[in-house]
Amino acid sequence: MAERTGQVNPAPPLNRDEVALLALVAEGRTRKEIAAARAVSAGTIQHRLRVIAGKLGARTSEEAIAIAARAGLL
């Protein structure tokens, strides 16, 4: 059983693709632009952004970008 230390566990690490996706959004690229460049649907990009936000404990892509930037990922 894991010992409780009272510390909050850090967010799960993002993989390189997730960091790259957040960086593109942070640069101002639209979901459609990113989807076209990656040959996937805009819905797939939206889903991936939701997953990333969830990993970071964010509610929006913008909040996820801010958290990632503060963590030095962007």
| pLDDT tens for each residue of 4-46 | 444 454 555 899 999 999 999 999 999 999 999 999 999 999 9
Please, are residues 64 and 50 in contact by the beta-carbon 8 Å criterion? no
Per residue in 57-72, pLDDT tens?
999 999 999 999 998 8
For residue 27, what pLDDT is reported? 96
Tokens of 43: 């819905």
The C-alpha atoms of residue 40 and residue 68 are separated, in whole angstroms, by 24
What is the distance between the alpha carbons of residues 14 and 24, in angstroms, rounded to a whole number?
15
User: What pTM was estimated for this model as a whole?
Assistant: 0.80
Domain 16-70 has CATH 1.10.10.10: yes
